Amino acid sequence: MGNKTTKRNISALGPTEFTGIQLKEPSTYAAGFTGIKVALQHVFKEMGIAKSLRTLSQMNQKDGFDCPGCAWPDPKEPSKLGEYCENGAKALAEEATNKRLDAAFFAKYSVEELSNWSDYQIGKGGRLTEPMVLKPNSVHYEPISWENAYAILAEELKALNTPDEAIFYTSGRSSNEAAFLYGLFIRAFGTNNMPDCSNMCHESSGVALNETLGIGKGSVKLEDFDSAEVVIVIGQNPGTNHPRMLSALQKCKENGGSIISINPLEEAGLIRFKNPQEINGIVGVGTSLTDIHLQVKINQDVALLKLILKKLAKLDLEDNKVFDHNFIETYTEGYASLLNDLERYKESQLLEICGVPEDLVDKTVAVLATKNKIIICWAMGLTQHKNGVDNIKECVNLLLLKGSLGKAGAGTCPVRGHSNVQGDRTVGIMHHVSKELNKNLEKVFGFKPPEKEGLDTVHGIKAMHEGKVKVFVALGGNFLSAASDTEYTAESLQNCSLTVQISTKLNRSHLVTGKTALILPTLGRSEIDKKEGAGRFVTVENSMGIVHRSKGMLVPASSNLRSEPEIVGGIADAYFGGSHSVDWKNMSTNYDLIRKKIQMVFKGFKNLESKSKGSGFYLPNNVRDLDFSKLPNGKAQFSLCNLAKHALSADEFLLMTIRSHDQFNTTIYGLNDRYRGIYNERRVVLMNEKDMQKYTFKKFDVVDLVSSYEGKERKAEKFMVIPYNIPQGNLAAYFPETNVLVPINHYADKSNTPISKSIVVKLAKRN
Ligand SMILES: Nc1nc2c(c(=O)[nH]1)N[C@H]1C(S)=C(S)[C@@H](COP(=O)(O)OP(=O)(O)OC[C@H]3O[C@@H](n4cnc5c(=O)[nH]c(N)nc54)[C@H](O)[C@@H]3O)O[C@H]1N2
Ligand SMILES: Nc1nc2c(c(=O)[nH]1)N[C@H]1C(S)=C(S)[C@@H](COP(=O)(O)OP(=O)(O)OC[C@H]3O[C@@H](n4cnc5c(=O)[nH]c(N)nc54)[C@H](O)[C@@H]3O)O[C@H]1N2
Ligand SMILES: [Mo]
């Protein structure tokens, strides 16, 4: 069993038993017929056949609902066959399951018992159906009315010494309407303590892009993939995490483009794609995707990129045609110092650090030298390192040198995680203070928002640990398991007097709680949200800045669920008791009114009402317009980035914590990682065969992973060693099981994102 951490005898980590591993060769393609088969198995099992087929046909369609999975955009004309992927289907199955967790379930199982279930078991229980309360000293949740639940929260909030003793977390599935209202209430209440899942995700991208290009979002549109000459996919595994992106990569290839992947692993989804929408994808060989795979060592992307930049600069000296000098002169600042800085590094040194064979680097340089429509896509492989911000700035350097911004077929593409994580930020979920936003809110709503910077995820956890925060509220997500340093975070949550989860499904954050805990069950994306007989819709923003509608179609999991805006409004109304300049009750039921206010507060949302129909509308994006007026001297900025430093001793490895093919973050859909050939087991650690020989490990040897920072040892127990094609000195294992190893005090410079992809560990063999 995992460690016990509390007064209630709760396990923050869950069981460590093995589930029966089977290994096969890693797959050399993604999707295809097996993808369809597995998708349907998942949905049929959870939802039954008729409901599954009816629902899947509405997913990502113009009048339908937005997939609750990732944030990849829909094509202009969604396929009539169904616009969804294997993992979108799994996300739907998880939400629209026919199984239910009712009061009888909670009467039968105590939180102590449930905490010894695996995340997989907990998630498979079914949907939450009614508000529940866990009273002080009790180990069973019991039913409570909505009004009494709101009253408990309102009382606790009123009892605080200052509003900064409360924290309000947001995960990225909430609609724009819910997130806007939530942010409004939090500010009206008086704090900016708004950590969100972005803090653990693309925060490094936001910081890097804001500083270099003046907007924290990507610049490409979906159609840019049709005309891109080169797409670089770096630190991202689209086959599993953004499967619909593979169709965009396929188009790029069909139109003559090249794909370069930079990843310590050779991910199946980047090798070959068998498009399930095409005959060739079902019975044929599909489309080969990656032209060059650069198997970089973990966290040595800056070294590799610098090497590429140096080699390109050398070629440019010969004919002045490799870089876009006109672009550099017109739009950028810092070119000369970038070139000077590159002089500091030796090619041989960079080559050795990044671990990539020189012939492949040269091949890459040859491709890039002659092309100027380049897209760079990235995700967590770049952001979750100490130098996450610099990783991304080095990518921006390359795009600036090549003039690959603000034109068709070129640009930045941070591939977002949750389906509306970008929208939540856009409408105000942010722990930083924006003077402009505060001014607009004051004008529209007649109250003065707080001006003190709020806490992000890492600092929120620390504040709870230090007893400076007493109330924790989460709009979605699974804070305990998603955040770093699981046992420390567990202590933090248990330090609170009240923890509140607004959720669709049970997870470990409902079990590791404050003295009192509330579960407020909410509608999912796929469900009908009705008011006085009429169905309501919400809006979301995808990874490319398009805002569009989403309208559920399924009968809700229980008649006692409330929509997220209604819950937020209910809390606000209970807290203010009618004495506030905002009409919370009316706002929370009338989404048109919320949208009207969003339009008044934020630029770019004009006509949100009419235009969010159909395929939606683009929000403004200064990079697309090559407008850098907000940046120093009105120019896009080159950056000088440092190499990552890891001084490892002989028996230390660098561990990246990644997703299997059968999970959505902390939600475990199943126990297989099909593309990597690992079946029925999650407690595995992937290791290079040469390292196995060197350290005398055999396949299936059982080890503990141990990290040690500032003298404190953290241990993830019982993992099986698996030989895998991964650079020497590097390891990979799945999160959330390995989050216990990530030290709370180690996070990216500037963005504070935990270092989930470069944890220094040792392996201790178990007998
Ligand atoms: N099905 C499914 N879809 C999802 C999710 C999910 O869990 N399941 N999660 C969603 C969310 S919130 C997010 S943020 C995204 C995450 O999407 P990804 O970022 O693709 O997810 P990870 O599994 O964290 O994979 C990171 C990839 O980066 C590589 N990598 C790790 N370290 C390095 C490095 O130092 N350098 C380089 N070049 N590569 C590295 C890994 O080998 C892996 O291929 O997906 C979203 N979509
Ligand atoms: N070690 C390590 N840690 C990581 C990462 C990593 O790569 N490595 N990745 C990080 C990343 S990128 C992210 S984004 C975070 C994710 O962190 P979170 O967003 O906090 O976690 P999720 O697992 O996505 O949250 C799942 C829960 O959300 C609830 N939920 C689902 N749909 C809805 C809905 O529509 N409304 C509401 N109210 N609730 C809903 C369900 O109860 C479900 O159990 O984890 C981070 N943690
Ligand atoms: Mo994420």
Whether 201 is in the pocket of ligand 1, judged by its Cβ within 6 Å, is yes
On whether the CB atoms of residues 565 and 592 are closer than 8 A, the answer is no
* Closest atom of ligand 1 relative to the 87 alpha carbon: 1
What pLDDT score does 554 carry? 93
What pLDDT score does 639 carry? 98
Residue 611 pLDDT class (50, 70, 90 cuts): low
**What are the tens digits of pLDDT across the range 62-88?**
778 888 877 788 877 767 666 778 888
Give the Å distance between the CA of 711 and the centre of ligand 2. Answer: 30
Residue 277 pLDDT class (50, 70, 90 cuts): confident
Give the Å distance between the CA of 208 and the centre of ligand 1. Answer: 18
What pLDDT score does 5 carry? 44
What pLDDT score does 201 carry? 97
What pLDDT score does 678 carry? 98
Token code pair at residue 305: 């990129």
Q: What does the H/E/C string look like for 92-155?
A: HHHHCCCCEECHHHHHHCCHHHHCCCCHHHHHHCCEECCCEEECCCCCCCEECCHHHHHHHHHH
Span 619-645, mean pLDDT?
Answer: 96
> Does 578 score more than 90 pLDDT?
no
H or E element at residue 310: helix 301-319
Whether 173 is in the pocket of ligand 2, judged by its Cβ within 6 Å, is yes
Q: Which ligand is nearest to the CA of 262?
A: 1
**What are the tens digits of pLDDT across the range 641-665?**
999 999 899 999 999 999 999 999 9
Whether 240 is in the pocket of ligand 1, judged by its Cβ within 6 Å, is yes
Asked whether the domain spanning 653-765 has the same topology as the one spanning 203-414, the reply is no
Share of the chain above pLDDT 70, in %: 98
The residue extents of the domains of the chain are 31-94, 203-414, 653-765
What pLDDT score does 614 carry? 61
* Closest atom of ligand 1 relative to the 241 alpha carbon: 3
Pocket test for ligand 1, best of 90, 360, 658 (most atoms within 8 A of CB): 658
Give the Å distance between the CA of 552 and the centre of ligand 3. Answer: 23
Give the Å distance between the CA of 529 and the centre of ligand 3. Answer: 26
**What are the tens digits of pLDDT across the range 300-323?**
999 999 999 999 999 999 999 999
> Does 6 score more than 60 pLDDT?
no
**What are the tens digits of pLDDT across the range 731-743?**
999 999 999 999 9
> Does 764 score more than 90 pLDDT?
yes
What pLDDT score does 615 carry? 67
Give the Å distance between the CA of 161 and the centre of ligand 2. Answer: 30
Give the Å distance between the CA of 146 and the centre of ligand 1. Answer: 38
Give the Å distance between the CA of 542 and the centre of ligand 3. Answer: 13
Task: Return the residue whose CA atom lies nearest to atom 12 of ligand 1.
Answer: 417
Whether 418 is in the pocket of ligand 1, judged by its Cβ within 6 Å, is yes
Please state, in angstroms and rounded to a whole number, the distance separating the CA atoms of residues 149 and 137.
18
Token code pair at residue 480: 């305990």
Token code pair at residue 614: 């159909």
Whether 482 is in the pocket of ligand 2, judged by its Cβ within 6 Å, is yes
Give the Å distance between the CA of 658 and the centre of ligand 1. Answer: 6
What pLDDT score does 36 carry? 86
> Does 4 score more than 70 pLDDT?
no
Q: How many helices (DSSP H) and strands (DSSP E) are in the chain? A: 31, 33
User: Among 24-33, 396-405, 502-511, 640-649, which is the least confidently predicted range?
Assistant: 24-33
Residue 514 pLDDT class (50, 70, 90 cuts): very high
Whether 371 is in the pocket of ligand 2, judged by its Cβ within 6 Å, is no
Whether 200 is in the pocket of ligand 2, judged by its Cβ within 6 Å, is yes
Q: Which ligand is nearest to the CA of 418?
A: 1
> What SS3 state is found at 573?
helix
Please compute Rg for the chain using Cα positions: 25
Give the Å distance between the CA of 22 and the centre of ligand 1. Answer: 23
Q: Does the domain at residues 653-765 carry the CATH identifier 3.40.50.300?
A: no
What pLDDT score does 612 carry? 59
Please state, in angstroms and rounded to a whole number, the distance separating the CA atoms of residues 40 and 19.
23
Please state, in angstroms and rounded to a whole number, the distance separating the CA atoms of residues 598 and 565.
14
Span 280-293, mean pLDDT?
Answer: 88
> Does 722 score more than 90 pLDDT?
yes
Locus of tokens 């034109």: 407
> To the nearest whole number, what is the mean pLDDT of the chain?
94
What pLDDT score does 613 carry? 60
Please state, in angstroms and rounded to a whole number, the distance separating the CA atoms of residues 180 and 192.
14
Span 474-492, mean pLDDT?
Answer: 98
What pLDDT score does 412 carry? 98
What pLDDT score does 3 carry? 44
> Does 767 score more than 90 pLDDT?
no
CA dihedral 560, 561, 566, 567 (to 10 degrees): 100
> Does 602 score more than 80 pLDDT?
yes
> Does 261 score more than 50 pLDDT?
yes
Pocket test for ligand 1, best of 199, 236, 421, 731 (most atoms within 8 A of CB): 236
Q: What does the H/E/C string look like for 38-81?
A: HHHHHHHHHHCHHHHHHHHCCECCCCCECCCCECCCCCCCCCCC
Share of the chain above pLDDT 90, in %: 85
Whether 264 is in the pocket of ligand 1, judged by its Cβ within 6 Å, is yes
Whether 417 is in the pocket of ligand 2, judged by its Cβ within 6 Å, is yes
What pLDDT score does 88 carry? 87
Span 11-15, mean pLDDT?
Answer: 95
Token code pair at residue 219: 């610049």
Across the strands, what pairs with 194? none
On whether the CB atoms of residues 681 and 18 are closer than 8 A, the answer is yes
Residue 2 pLDDT class (50, 70, 90 cuts): very low
Whether 455 is in the pocket of ligand 1, judged by its Cβ within 6 Å, is no
C-alpha separations of 650 from 102, 452, 669, 684, 761 in Å: 53, 46, 37, 22, 11
Please state, in angstroms and rounded to a whole number, the distance separating the CA atoms of residues 513 and 6.
10
What pLDDT score does 81 carry? 63
**What are the tens digits of pLDDT across the range 423-463?**
999 999 999 999 999 999 999 999 999 999 999 999 999 99
What is the second-level CATH architecture of the domain 203-414?
3-Layer(aba) Sandwich (3.40)
